[in-house]
Structure 1
Amino acid sequence: MENLDSNMNIEEVNDSPIEQVRLTVPITDDPTLPCLTFRTWFLGIISCSVLAFLNQFFGYRQNPLYISSVSAQILVLPIGRLMAATLPTKPIRVFRWSFSLNPGPFNLKEHVLITIFANSGSNSVYAVSIITIVKAFYRRRLNPIAAMLLTQTTQMLGYGWAGLFRKFLVDSPYMWWPANLVQVSLFRALHDEEKRPKRGMTRLQFFLIVLVSSFAYYIIPNYLFQSITAISFVCWIWKDSVKAQQIGSGLRGLGVGAIGLDWATVSAFLGSPLATPGFAIMNILAGYIIVVYIMVPIAYWNNWYEAKRFPIYSSHVFDAQGGKYNVSRVLNSTTFSFDKQGYNNYSQIHLSIFFTFAYGLNFATLAATLSHVALFHGRTIWEQTTASFKDKFGDVHTRLMKKNYEPVPQWWFYSLLVLVIGLALLTCEGFGRQLQLPYWGVLLGIGLALLFTLPIGVITATTNMQPGLNVITELIIGYIYPGKPLANVAFKTYGYISMSQAIMFLQDFKLGHYMKIPPKSMFIVQLVGTIIASSVYFATSWWLLTTVEYICDPSKLPEGSPWTCPGDDVFYNASIIWGVVGPQRMFGNLGLYSKMNYFFLLGILAPFPVWFLSRKFPNRKWIRLINMPILISGPGGMPPTRAVNYNMWFAVGIFFNFVVYKKFKGWWARHNYILSAGLDAGVAFMAILCYFVLQIRDINGPKWWGMEIDDHCPLAGCPTAPGINVEGCPQVH
C-alpha cells in the first residue's frame, strides 16, 4: 500500500502539482511539428486583422458586439485543413532561404499560434477611446502620428513586464492560469478524430447551421425592425407616466419587463452568457437585484443627492439646474485645462443616482477583490508562491519546454522595453504635448504597472480574478495633476493597460507552455500580432471618426443611425469627472459625493461574513460559491450597459447554464461554446454586409416607427423634481 501511494506521488510530481492541469493538459510533445508555417502567417494575420477591425467597428455602435478569438479558433480549422489538402508541397526558394506553402497536415501547433494571433486582434485597444473623446467629444485636433504611437506604446509596454516576471508566472507549475484550460480543452476537442453521431451532426456542421441561422435572422434587428433590440411593454401601457416609464424602460430606466430579440442585445456589453459559469451568473443576478431594484429606487425616491433633478439612469454629468453640464464653461479653451473661476461661477458636477452608485460599486469591487483573495486564497497563494521559489525544476511541462526548445533571450524583452518607454516619452512630450501628460507622469504610470504586475499576475494565475487599476490610476493622477482631462486618461492607460497587457501576454505564454509551442515562435507571433492589431484598431477608429458625420452625437445623428458610442460616452464623462474637475471636487472634501468613499470600507468588509460562514459550516458548499467581488460588481457594467442587456443576459445564461446543463449535459458539453461562437459570427457577418452594401450609401431601411433604435419610453429620462425644465418632459409643480 505504501509503495502504491509512493508511486502515485511520484506520478503527480512528474506531471503537475495542480489537479485541474493533470486532468486537462497532455504531458506529451512532438518537437518535429512545424510551427511558423506559411499557413500560420497567412491565417494568423488575417484572423488578427479581421477581429481587430470587427471589434473596433462594432465598438462605436448602439449595441457593440465583442467577437472573441474562439470564433477564429473554430473557423480556421477547416480552412487550414483545406490549405493542407490543396496547396503545392514543392519548396519555394527566395535567395538563400527556402520554405514550403504546405509542409504537411495542418497541425495543432499551427492552430495554437493562429489563435494567439486572433487573441491579439480580439483584445480591445484602450487608447482608442482617448482618440475618440478628443476628436468626437472635445472636438480638438490630434496629430495622427501621436495617436498611432499612443495606441502602439500602451499595448507594447506590457512585454517588458512579461519578460521580467515570465520565469515566475509562466515556468512555475503553481501559476496554472485556470482560463487557459478552457482553450486547451477546446483545442483537444477540435483535433481529436470526430465521427458524426447517429442521427446527429459533427461540431463543425452544428457551427455552420448556427452561423447561417444567426446571419439570416440578424437582418431583422439590424436593418428592418431595430426597435426589437429593446422592447419595454410597461411604457406602451402607461404612455404618459414618468414614473412608470422610469420603472419599465430597458434603455433609460430600471427595465422591469423589458426584453430584446437580438443576440447583440444579449452579448453586446457583458460577453456571451453561454461562456459564463452558472455560479457567477447567480452572483451577478443577486447584486443586480440588490442595487437596481432595492438601493437605486430607495435613493431616487427619497431624493438622495437631489436625485429627482436628474434622470434615474444616465452616464452624463449635469449642472445644479438639471441641464447637461456645459464643460466649455469650466474648461479654458486656450490651455485646455480646468477654469476654477468659471467653475465657481457655474455649478458643481452632479451625477444621476445610478452613475453615483456605479462609482461607489467600483470602489467597493476593488477593495472586495483584495480582501476576498486574501481570505479565500491567501494561504494557497502564499504556499504556491514560496513553492515556486523553491521549485528549481518545475513540472513535466517546464522540463519538456527546457529540453526541446530554446528560451527567449531576456535581452529581447529588455530592448523592447527601453525602445517602447522612449517612444512613450516622445508621444507625450512631443507633438506640442497634445496629450498633456509630462514625462514624469509617463514614468509614474509605468512604475505603477511594474509594481502591480507581479501581485495581480499571481492573483490572476491562481484565482482567475484580475483586479483593475483604472480607478486607482484616475484617483492618483487626479489628485497630483488636476484639471487636465487628457493627462488623466493617458496616465490611466499607461498605468492600467500596460499591466493588463502584461497579464494577457503571460497568459498566452502559459497557453503556449501547455501546448508545447517554441517560446521564440510565441514571442514573434505575439509581437507581430500586437503591432498589427494596434494598427488596425487605430486605422478603423480614425476612418470612422473622419467619415461618419456626427459620430458619437445621438442628438445630430440621422434616425436609425447606430453610431452612438455608448462606451466612449462613459469614458468621456469619466474624463470630466476625474480629469477636468478632479476627484477632490467630486469625491473629496470639496465634492458632493464624499460619502461614496465608504464603499471602499464596505468592499473590504463584505467578504468577511461569507468567509466566516464557510468556515463555520464547511459542509454547505453553496456558501463558498458566494463571491462578493462578483456580487458587488453585478450591475457594475451600468452604464453603458442597460437594463434590457442584463435582463436578456440573465435569461439566456440561466436557461443554458442551469436548465440545459442539468437536463442535457452531453449536448451542453458538446455544443454550448460552439453555439456561442456561431451566434457571434453570424451577427458580425450580417452587420458588416449591411453596412458596406447599404448603410454606407445612406440606405437605412424602411421609414417607420420600428426603425428607431429606441424602446419608445421618451419620459424615462425626465426629472421628477419640481421646477426643473427639460425639453420634451412634463414640468412638475
Structure 2
Amino acid sequence: MSTNLEVEDDDKIQDITNDESELLIPRKSNASTIKTYESCGTYEEVSSSSSSNSDLEDLDPDVLELPKVIREIVPLHDDPSIPVLTFRYFLLSTIFIIPGAFIDTMNSYRTTSAAYSIFFVQIAGHWAGKKLAKHLPKKDINLFGLKFNLNPGPWSIKEAAMVTITANSGATGNLATNAISLAEIHFGETVPIPVALGFMWSIVFVGYSYAAIAKNFLLYDPQFTWPQALMQTTLLQSQAKSDEDSQEGSKQMKIFFIVIASIAVWQLFPEFIFPFTSSLAVLCWIAPNNHTLNFMGSGLGGMGLLNFSLDWANITSSIMLYPYWIQVIQFVAFVLGAWILIPFAKWSNNGIFNGGLMSNGLFLSDGSPYPVGELLNTDLTLNTTAYEYYGPVHLGAQRAWNMFFDYAAYISGITWVVLFGYDKFKSSFENFKNSKDNRTVYTDRLNKLHSRYQEVPIWWYAVLFGISLTTLMTIFLSGNLFMPWWCCIVALIMGSIIVTPLAWLYALSNFQLAIGTFNELTYGYMMQNVTQKHPAGALVFGSIAGNAWYRAQYHLECMRLGFYNHLPPRAVFFSQLYGELIGVPINYLALRWVLATKREYLNGTKVDPLHQWTGQAITSSHTNAIQYVVLGPSRLFVNYPLLPYGFVLGLLAPYILFKLHQRYPSSNFNLWNTTVFFSSMSRFYGNISTGYLSRFVGGTITMFWAFKYKHSLWKKYNYILAAAFDTGYNLAILIIFLLFSVITTTNMPNWWGNNSQSIERCFAL
C-alpha cells in the first residue's frame, strides 16, 4: 500500500491504514521519520517533518517506536518489585485449571458445550485474588526449606495476569485424547495410563520448546502486535484502572459487566427459547415451501444466501480481533464456497454431486453411506475382497474441495512467508546474530522495561525438548501408540518447519491456520507400503506435528501477554509448565469419565436422546484413518486426481501475488493473503452456513468504520466489548447446560419461534 500524506493528528494516524497490522511503527529514534508496516512484511516511509502534531512531539522516541494500538493499551511504566509467584497465585491457578481442563476435554465429545472462558478466569481470578489479599493471614511459612509469605501484600494485576497465563496453558484440552479415544472406541485398544500421560505431556512440552525457533524473530519486535494478547491486556489494565478508582477504568468495567449480563440473557433466546433468531433465512420467508429458494436461503442445510444470524456463537469476537483485510478475504472465500461452488455441484448435472453434498462421511458411487466396517480385517488391515466388492470410496463434494484447499493452505503458509517476509526475517536474524540478546536489537520503551528481567535461556528450551524426545522415543521403541519410532522423528521435523510461518501470520493478524489433515496424509504416504499398520497411527502422528505448532503459539502468545504486562519471562515460562503439569492428568481423567459413561453413544450402539454425545471429532478422525491409512492416499487420489494439485496451487499462488505486488506496489496485492484464503476455503461448513454474512457486516462496523472514523471510542471499548460478548455467551451456554442438561433434562416446547419441522421456517427442505 503506497501512502503519501502528512501526519496531522495522533488520532488521524490510523487513516494511513485500514487495519491494526498496518499501524504506525517508527523504526528509528527520530520523530521525523515514520514507517508503516504492511501486512506483507514491507515498509514505506512517511515524512512527518512538517507535522505540527504536538502529541507526537511530546512522546519520547522510544515510545514512538511502538505501534499506536500498543501505546494506547499497554502500560509504559513498571514496578519490578511486585511479586508474581505468590502462594495466592499457586492456589488460584490450581483452582481454575482443574475445571477448565476437565470441561474442555469433555466438550470435545459433545455436539454443543459450555465453553470455559479465559476471560472468566481473568475476572473471577482478579476478584478472588483481592479477597485473598484482604482475608489471608500475613504469615511466613517454611515448607521443606522453601520460605514464603501467605499474603505478601496487595493483590496486583501482575498476579492476575499470571493466573490467566497459567489457566491459558493448563485449562485446555489435549490433542492426544483424540488418538487415545479413537483407538479405544473404534479399534478396542486401551492405551496404558503411564504411556498416555507421558505422551500427552511430551507433545505439549515439545510445542513449548519449539517456540524457541520463532521467539527471537516474533516475540519482541514491536511490529508484531499479537491481537489476542492485546485484548487480554486491555481487560487486565481496565481492571487495574478500576481498582485505582480511575473514572475511565470504572466506566469500562461497568460497561463490561452490563454487556456480559445483557448477552447472557439474550443468548438464552437463540440457543434455547427462540432458536428462530439463530438463522434468519430471508428467502425462506418469501417462499417457505419452495425447495430451491429454501436450499438457497437456509443456513442449516443450505447455502445461507442472504442469511443473517443474531446468535453470537455464529458471529464470535473475531469481528473485533481480526484485521479487516482478513475478514474480507474470509468472506470472499465463504461466498465462493457456499454461494457458488455448492449450487454448482448440486445443479450442474456434471456428476459432481451424487450424495453427501455437505457431508464429511464416505459414500458409495450411488451416494449411499459406505459400509466402512466391512473394509477391515481382524488385524485392522484392508479387506481387499470387500473393497473390490463395494468399489472406490467417494467423498461429499464440499469435503473434496475442502481437502484440495487444505493442502494448498499448508504449502501457502510457508511460501507466503518466504516471499513476503524474507527481508524482515533476514534483517531480524542479522540483528540478533550481531547482538547478545533482543535488548540491543529493539530500543522501544517496552523492550527497555523488559530488559530489567532475566531472559529465559535457550538451554531451558533444549532441556525441555530433550526430556520430551526421550519420553516419546521410549514410548515408540517399546511398541506403544501404534506408530514406528522413525515416524515420530518425521512428525517433529514437520512441526518445526511450520512454527515460524504460522506464528508470523498469527502475530500480525490473530489468524490461526488450522493444519487440518495434511499431517495425516503425510503419514498415510509413509505407511502406504507397510503391511502391518494401525489406523490410529495417523492421528498419533498428527498430534505430535500439530502440537508442535499449537503449543508453540500458546507459549509465544502468553510470553507476549507477559511482555505487555511486565512479567518476568522466567516466571511466565514456569507458569506454563505448572499449568500443564496440573492440566494433563485432569484431561486424562475427563477422557476416562467420558469413555466410561458415554461409550455406547460415542460408538453408535445407542443414540443419545439429546443428540449431544455424538463424538463428531472422533468420527471425523476415524474417517481420515480409513482414508489415509487403511486405503492409502494412492487409492484416494486415483479416484480424485485433482486433489494433489492443491499443493501446486499453494506453491504458485503466493509467487504470482508477490510478483504482482512488486510490479504494482500500490494495488494492495500484498493484502490478499493466499494462506488465509485457502484456509477459509478448506473450512467445512457441513449443514451450517449461517452467520457468515452477519459476521462480515459486524466486522465492517468494528474493524473498518469504527476503527477508522470513531477511533477514540474504538480504542477504549473494542477489546473490552469483545471480551464481554464472549464471556456473556459462555455464561449463557453454561446456564443452559446446567439447568436443562445436568440438573434436569428439559427441551424447549415447540412454538412459532421453535418450529418442530424447521426453526428457520424452510419447510421444503
Q: Partners in 1 of 2:758 and 2:205 — Cα distance?
A: 39
When residues 376 and 12 of structure 1 are mapped into structure 2, their CA distance, relative to the original with a 3 A threshold, is farther
Q: Cα RMSD between the aligned structures?
A: 3.9
Match of 2:4 in 1: none
When residues 96 and 499 of structure 1 are mapped into structure 2, their CA distance, relative to the original with a 3 A threshold, is same
The partner residue of 2:374 within 319, 323, 329 is 329
Q: Does 1:533 align with 2:583?
A: yes
**Secondary structure of 1:99 counterpart:** strand
**Secondary structure of 1:517 counterpart:** coil
Match of 1:208 in 2: 257
Q: Does 1:32 align with 2:81?
A: yes
Post-superposition CA distance 1:450-497 (Å, at most 9, x none): 444456556655776665655442232111113642111111111221
Post-superposition CA distance 1:298-352 (Å, at most 9, x none): 2332245x333113211111122211122111122x2223333332222211111
Post-superposition CA distance 1:134-162 (Å, at most 9, x none): 44555654545544443322212223333
Match of 1:85 in 2: 134
**Secondary structure of 1:307 counterpart:** coil
Match of 1:389 in 2: 433
**Letter aligned with residue 216 of structure 1:** V
Q: Partners in 2 of 1:172 and 1:652 — Cα distance?
A: 30
Aligned pair count?
Answer: 700
Q: Partners in 1 of 2:612 and 2:276 — Cα distance?
A: 12
Match of 1:494 in 2: 544
Post-superposition CA distance 1:488-519 (Å, at most 9, x none): 11111112212331233233234434544223
Q: Partners in 1 of 2:98 and 2:341 — Cα distance?
A: 44
Q: Partners in 2 of 1:110 and 1:166 — Cα distance?
A: 24
Q: Gapped runs of 5+ residues in structure 1? A: 718-733
Match of 1:674 in 2: 720
Q: Partners in 2 of 1:459 and 1:687 — Cα distance?
A: 31
**Letter aligned with residue 596 of structure 1:** L
When residues 166 and 358 of structure 1 are mapped into structure 2, their CA distance, relative to the original with a 3 A threshold, is closer
Post-superposition CA distance 1:613-663 (Å, at most 9, x none): 54455445x554333322333343224582014344334333433455456
Match of 1:449 in 2: 495
The partner residue of 2:90 within 2, 26, 41 is 41
Q: Partners in 1 of 2:364 and 2:70 — Cα distance?
A: 58
Kept in 2: contact 1:307–1:353 (CA 8 A) = yes
- Report which stretch shifted further, 591-600 or 181-190: 181-190
Match of 1:543 in 2: 593
Match of 2:639 in 1: 592
**Letter aligned with residue 594 of structure 1:** P
Shift in Å, 1:583: 1.6
Match of 1:133 in 2: 182
Shift in Å, 1:232: 4.4
Q: Partners in 2 of 1:465 and 1:686 — Cα distance?
A: 26
Q: Partners in 2 of 1:132 and 1:118 — Cα distance?
A: 24
Match of 1:380 in 2: 424
- Report which stretch shifted further, 519-528 or 213-222: 213-222
Q: Partners in 2 of 1:410 and 1:387 — Cα distance?
A: 17
Q: Partners in 2 of 1:92 and 1:709 — Cα distance?
A: 65
Match of 1:627 in 2: 673
When residues 712 and 538 of structure 1 are mapped into structure 2, their CA distance, relative to the original with a 3 A threshold, is farther
- Report which stretch shifted further, 205-214 or 16-25: 16-25
Match of 1:727 in 2: none
The partner residue of 1:646 within 692, 712, 722 is 692
Q: Does 1:603 align with 2:653?
A: no
Kept in 2: contact 1:468–1:496 (CA 8 A) = no
- Report which stretch shifted further, 359-368 or 373-382: 373-382
Q: Partners in 2 of 1:445 and 1:254 — Cα distance?
A: 37
**Secondary structure of 1:643 counterpart:** coil
When residues 211 and 522 of structure 1 are mapped into structure 2, their CA distance, relative to the original with a 3 A threshold, is same
When residues 108 and 6 of structure 1 are mapped into structure 2, their CA distance, relative to the original with a 3 A threshold, is closer
Per the normalisation by structure 2, the TM-score is 0.80
Match of 1:728 in 2: none
**Letter aligned with residue 165 of structure 2:** I
Instruction: Kindly report which structure 2 residues correspond to 1:254-273, keeping only aligned pairs within 5 A, or say none.
Output: 254-267=303-316, 272-273=318-319
When residues 321 and 708 of structure 1 are mapped into structure 2, their CA distance, relative to the original with a 3 A threshold, is same
Match of 1:478 in 2: 524
Q: Gapped runs of 5+ residues in structure 2? A: 1-27, 34-58
Q: Does 1:367 align with 2:418?
A: no
When residues 607 and 202 of structure 1 are mapped into structure 2, their CA distance, relative to the original with a 3 A threshold, is same
**Letter aligned with residue 360 of structure 2:** S
Kept in 2: contact 1:408–1:523 (CA 8 A) = yes
Match of 2:322 in 1: 276
Post-superposition CA distance 1:266-295 (Å, at most 9, x none): 33xxx6433222222111111111222123
Q: Does 1:351 align with 2:401?
A: no
The partner residue of 1:424 within 472, 483, 491 is 472
When residues 256 and 21 of structure 1 are mapped into structure 2, their CA distance, relative to the original with a 3 A threshold, is closer
When residues 249 and 570 of structure 1 are mapped into structure 2, their CA distance, relative to the original with a 3 A threshold, is farther
When residues 419 and 114 of structure 1 are mapped into structure 2, their CA distance, relative to the original with a 3 A threshold, is same
Post-superposition CA distance 1:677-723 (Å, at most 9, x none): 23332333343344344423562224537386975799998xxxxxx
When residues 52 and 677 of structure 1 are mapped into structure 2, their CA distance, relative to the original with a 3 A threshold, is farther
When residues 444 and 603 of structure 1 are mapped into structure 2, their CA distance, relative to the original with a 3 A threshold, is closer
Shift in Å, 1:176: 7.1
Q: Partners in 2 of 1:501 and 1:192 — Cα distance?
A: 32
Q: Partners in 2 of 1:281 and 1:169 — Cα distance?
A: 23
When residues 294 and 65 of structure 1 are mapped into structure 2, their CA distance, relative to the original with a 3 A threshold, is farther
Kept in 2: contact 1:358–1:636 (CA 8 A) = yes
Shift in Å, 1:103: 1.6
When residues 467 and 250 of structure 1 are mapped into structure 2, their CA distance, relative to the original with a 3 A threshold, is closer
The partner residue of 1:286 within 312, 317, 332 is 332
Q: Does 1:338 align with 2:382?
A: yes
Q: Partners in 1 of 2:703 and 2:419 — Cα distance?
A: 28
Per the normalisation by structure 1, the TM-score is 0.83
Match of 1:704 in 2: 750
When residues 658 and 362 of structure 1 are mapped into structure 2, their CA distance, relative to the original with a 3 A threshold, is same
Kept in 2: contact 1:54–1:684 (CA 8 A) = no
Match of 2:205 in 1: 156
Instruction: Kindly report which structure 2 residues correspond to 1:103-182, keeping only aligned pairs within 5 A, or say none.
Output: 103-121=152-170, 123-136=172-185, 141-162=190-211, 170=219, 180-182=229-231
**Secondary structure of 1:106 counterpart:** coil
When residues 290 and 451 of structure 1 are mapped into structure 2, their CA distance, relative to the original with a 3 A threshold, is closer
When residues 544 and 77 of structure 1 are mapped into structure 2, their CA distance, relative to the original with a 3 A threshold, is same
Match of 2:342 in 1: 296
**Letter aligned with residue 598 of structure 1:** Y
When residues 546 and 668 of structure 1 are mapped into structure 2, their CA distance, relative to the original with a 3 A threshold, is farther
Q: Partners in 2 of 1:313 and 1:555 — Cα distance?
A: 25
Q: Partners in 2 of 1:712 and 1:27 — Cα distance?
A: 51
When residues 238 and 312 of structure 1 are mapped into structure 2, their CA distance, relative to the original with a 3 A threshold, is farther
**Letter aligned with residue 178 of structure 2:** S
Kept in 2: contact 1:567–1:640 (CA 8 A) = no
Match of 1:691 in 2: 737
When residues 462 and 251 of structure 1 are mapped into structure 2, their CA distance, relative to the original with a 3 A threshold, is closer
**Letter aligned with residue 367 of structure 2:** G
**Letter aligned with residue 340 of structure 1:** T
Kept in 2: contact 1:137–1:552 (CA 8 A) = no
Q: Partners in 2 of 1:272 and 1:6 — Cα distance?
A: 34
Q: Partners in 2 of 1:223 and 1:653 — Cα distance?
A: 26
